[in-house]
Amino acid sequence: MRHTPLFILLAVAACSPDTYVEGAICPAPEVLAEFADGDDLDVVVIFDDCPPGCGGNTQVECSVHREGNTIDIDATGYYHKRGGSCAAVCRPLTVTCTIADLAPGTYDIRSGSHSLAVTIPSDDPPAYEPICGF
């Protein structure tokens, strides 16, 4: 029975959710191109394109802080894996954050160590991270 504490510790660790506090910034190119003065800008933050496990429960949230042309997105995602035998299912863990009432211009959007320079409106897409899929 000396292995019981280690077993309990491993079981608790396996049940605790994965926590994400930043992600790739992925506003859709068509949204950037069709942007008009005063529109809200929806920005998808991708935490993980394929969290490990067999599906699971998720919780995501975000808040937006804007100072001049710098926009900080505080995004958090929780992914609680399901165990057992199953076929692996890939569903990206994302959150959509709304940046309200923007004027046309160039903005630096940041989520943790990720950043994206965006000009709105613009037909030229920004330099997306590969995980964005654009």
Phi-psi region at 52: left, alpha or beta (left = phi > 0; alpha = psi -120 to 50): beta
The pTM of the full predicted model, rounded to 2 decimals, is 0.83
SS3 100: coil
Q: How far apart are CA 101 and CA 111, in angstroms?
A: 19
What is the average per-residue pLDDT within 12-32?
Answer: 85
Calculate the average pLDDT of the chain. 86
Q: How far apart are CA 93 and CA 78, in angstroms?
A: 9
pLDDT greater at residue 97 or residue 16: 97
Pick from 63, 71, 64: nearest CA to 106: 71
* pLDDT on residue 79: 86
Model confidence pLDDT, tens digit, residues 78-107: 988 776 666 666 788 999 999 999 999 999
> Does the pLDDT value for residue 111 go beyond 80?
yes
* pLDDT on residue 42: 97
pLDDT greater at residue 13 or residue 74: 74
Model confidence pLDDT, tens digit, residues 53-64: 666 788 999 999
